[in-house]
Structure 1
Amino acid sequence: MPYITTKDDTRIYYKDWGNPNGQPIVFSHGWPLNSDNFENQMFFLGQQGYRTIAHDRRGHGRSSQPWFGHDMDTYADDLLVLFEHLDLKNVMMVGHSTGGGEVIRFCARHGTSRVSKAVLIDAVPPHLVLSPNSPHGIPLAVFDNIRASMLKNRAQLFLDIPSGPFFNYNLPNVTASQGLIESWHSQGLMCGFKAAYDCIKAFSETDFTADMKKLKIPVLLLHGTADQMVPIDASARQGIKLLKYGTLKEYPGAPHGTPNILIDEVNADLLAFAKK
């Protein structure tokens, strides 16, 4: 399996699919998942002639499980190593949930000389936790409770999330997929405990407001209006106001896991944006 090694000797696993000469599309996954969660999109776009690349964030999936570095700056720095290792240019970046924060921080921290456009799917920016600057955010106590639940019984928590709010299976008239629940659970348990614990702070408390204001590339925001994990009023509907060249598309009634639930719609929107 292919790996890169970062400056602190963390090994990062990545996939490199599709046409090696095609335009690269780089995917950043959400918490506490890994690159497997984007396989439908990678396979589809690879079939369309694109080069599709996704990594397992440090501490997640098949990557190393270091004690340190579970913050947005380090995530962005790790991703830069991958860009440089593969000499990627004219990249379309795609980030889901936490991965959307990673995309925004990467572009703000390292510039967009290698990036032509970006897509944020159900993503955490600009600032997920409730604060004076984020009046529609989620109270910090909610994230404290997630951390407490991890310490008590991580295995059960990582069943409860996909069985409930991640895919909206806790709502009436929504048919659950046991396969999706088990896939989420298995990916989550592959994540190192420290990485999963620390990443909760990274995705919830990082303020991406200044980062989003810096961007001068086209950014497409895709977000479900019934997202219980990253409510659209706290994220995409605020983020679109900060982007110079932003476009927001809302999926009515859709949950947080739109890449898994609305596969055809998300794939079509990614392809259309890539072709622009």
Structure 2
Amino acid sequence: MPTITTTDGTEIFYKDWGSGQPIVFSHGWPLSADDWDAQLMFFLLHGYRVIAHDRRGHGRSAQVADGHDMDHYADDLAALTEHLDLHDAVHVGHSTGGGEVVHYIARHGESRVAKAAIISAVPPLMVQTEANPGGLPKSVFDGFQDQTAQHRSQLYRDLAEGPFYGFNRPGVEASEAIIENWWRQGMMGGAKAHYDGIVAFSQTDFTGDLKKITVPVLVMHGDDDQIVPYADSAPLSAALLHNGTLKTYAGFPHGMPTTQAETINADLLEFIQA
């Protein structure tokens, strides 16, 4: 398996297919690069070089005990882009991966980056604070941590068959294959990484990062996102960016890159080619 080893000795698995302009995909919690299958194949067949890695502690990457925070996530992504010597890259991040992309660009600069897209992403800040009254109470994330520590197999089943893809909405037909694939990816990763990652995606404030970014960024979000509520995320992120474009999808769920792949892929392609 292709891997890199970071400066702190963590082995990171990645996929690197095709040639042409590179598109780098950062996955959400608690998944893996496999969650991008529909995008990897679509853009590969459209002549792009597609790259996706398993975040540390996730998928096939090393299940290390430490480093499950946005600084390490961003630094691991930087190590990958440097190892592959990527230039003029488009970075695409879903959910936690959107935070990773934003933090990477702000922390490591734009010299290798052409554009970015963040989908159903966690910035600017998920948790409720005095400065962020529209956020979700910390108790929500504490509950997720408790469930991850005690019975994450059941939690991952519940999330996949319920709010993640909107399969709990009236009239929405659930896909058992999608549910099982989500559960499979989650259980491949390490419980410690997933436990710590909840703090990383919920309590990291990306406001300063968003303000630093000058490359074009497409902010894509469904208004029926039950995981990262729309009103306190996408519109605020787009407003903070120097060159941000907000694209809102009526009725789309959090996992829309999978359930609405045809629409998302077409819009990403149009943005990249513009």
Write out aligned runs for 1:93-242 (5 A): 93-242=91-240
The aligned residue for residue 7 of structure 1 is 7
- In the alignment, which residue of structure 2 is the partner of 1:57? 55
The separation in 2 between residues aligned to 1:156 and 1:70, in whole angstroms, is 22
More deviation in 225-234 or 142-151? 142-151
Q: In structure 2, what is the Cα distance between the partners aligned to 1:261 and 1:37?
A: 11
Kept in 1: contact 2:149–2:191 (CA 8 A)? no
Q: CA deviation at 1:89?
A: 0.3
Secondary structure, aligned partner of 1:249: strand
Q: Give me the whole-angstrom Cα distance separating, in 2, the residues matched to 1:120 and 1:9.
A: 29
CA distance in 2, matches of 1:77, 1:146: 26
Amino acid at match of 1:14: Y
User: Stretches of 4+ moved more than 2 A in 1?
Assistant: none
Matched to 1:156, the amino acid is Q
1:187-233 Cα distance to aligned partner (Å, 9 max, x none): 00011010000000000000000000011110001101000000111
Secondary structure of the 1:171 match is coil
Percent sequence identity is: 56
Contact 1:18–1:43 (CA<8 Å) still a contact in 2? no
Do the aligned residues in 2 keep the contact of 1:169 with 1:175 (CA within 8 Å)?
Answer: yes
What is the DSSP-based 3-state SS (H/G/I as helix, E as strand, rest coil) of the residue aligned with 1:240?
Answer: helix
Alignment pair present for 1:23 and 2:17: no
The number of equivalent residue pairs is: 274
Q: Using the TM superposition, give the Cα deviation of residue 18 of structure 1 relative to its aligned residue in structure 2, in angstroms.
A: 2.1
SS at match of 1:132: coil
Q: Distance in 2 between matches of 1:181 and 1:211?
A: 33
SS of the equivalent of 1:127 reads coil
Q: What's 2:30 paired with?
A: 32
Q: CA deviation at 1:171?
A: 1.6
Give the superposition deviation at 1:133. 2.1
Q: 1: CA distance between counterparts of 2:273 and 2:149?
A: 45
TM-superposed CA distance for 1:151, in Å, is 2.2
Encode CA deviations 1:159-204: one digit per residue, 9 max, x unaligned.
0001111011112111100001000001000110100000000000
TM-score, normalized by length of structure 2?
0.99
CA separation in 1, counterparts of 2:105 and 2:138?
27
Give the counterpart letter for 1:185 in structure 2.
Answer: W
Residue 86 of structure 1 corresponds to which residue in structure 2? 84
Provide, for residues 205-263 of structure 1, a one-character-per-residue CA deviation record: whole Å limited to 9, x for no partner: 00000000011110001101000000111110111110110001111001000100111
Structure 1 range deviating more: 91-100 or 130-139: 130-139
Report the Cα distance in structure 2 between the residues aligned to 1:25 and 1:133, rounded to whole angstroms: 35
What is the alpha-carbon distance in structure 2 between the residues aligned to residue 253 and residue 187 of structure 1? 25
Over the residues paired in the alignment, what is the CA RMSD in angstroms? 0.7
Gap runs ≥5 in structure 2: none
